[in-house]
Chain A
């Protein structure tokens, strides 16, 4: 158990809909990272937050957005969903905003868009 929790574990929805994925980092960790894992693209970095502020952006679509709240939990919002958004979404946390600390991953949310 990494100490990172993600909810829900599974999510099934239809095209065009909007969903919210939630992540609670390990106690004391200030940084949260979101990754997407699909069959054709592998594990890809989406976005990072550090202590409530966006720190880095990766290949995140404009239809996707994220935020980190004062209690440090983070939410990833996916809207206007398409079939291709079906994937595993992982959240990771680390204690620092930069390097030098390993990232601990949650169990993931499996999103299926029908």
Chain B
């Protein structure tokens, strides 16, 4: 699986958009970008994933650059409950690969009142 690079921490004001970047310059053509988050010691929570097109769901939007070497997770209106560690994970979805999730250190997003 391709390695990802995320800033260790970020701050965001409540009600503002939180933009979390992720670099994955060695991503392969069949690898997807996944985002999970973990709120203090709880089980990780799936947020969103995408291959090359931008994706949006009820939780967030995922913007993937055209060369697919980086992506941004956008929480449009951050709340205090969005304070968590956010993990960007790159993983293949086919081809007989091991479909484990490889977690890095992630980004600790702190939403301030």
Chain A residues with Cβ below 8 Å from B44 are 43, 90, 92, 105
Are A100 and B94 interface neighbours, CB within 8 A?
A: yes
Partner-contacting stretch, out of B3-11, B17-25, B101-109: B101-109
Chain A contact-residue range equals: 20 to 34
Asked if A108 contacts B97 (CB within 8 A), the reply is no
Given A4, A42, A88, A98, which contacts B104 in the complex, CB threshold below 8 Å? Answer: A42
State the CA gap A105–B41 with chains docked (Å): 12
Which listed residue (B38, B92, B100) contacts A45, Cβ 8 A?
Answer: B100
Instruction: Report the Cα distance A75→B45, complex, angstroms.
Output: 21
**Cross-chain contact A99 with B102 (CB below 8 angstroms):** no
**A85-114 interface code vs B (CB 8 A; 1 in, 0 out):** 000101010100111101111111010000
Give the interface size bracket for B toward A: 20 to 34
Q: Is the CB of B99 within 8 A of A42?
A: no
- Across the interface, which residues of A come within 8 angstroms of B98, CB to CB? 48, 56, 58
> Does A2 sit within 8 A of B, measured CB to CB?
yes
Q: Are A88 and B41 in contact (CB under 8 A)?
A: yes
- CB nearest to B104 among chain A residues: A42
Q: Are A102 and B49 in contact (CB under 8 A)?
A: yes
Binding site for B on A (CB under 8 A): 2, 4, 33, 35, 42-45, 48, 56, 58, 88, 90, 92, 94, 97-100, 102-108, 110
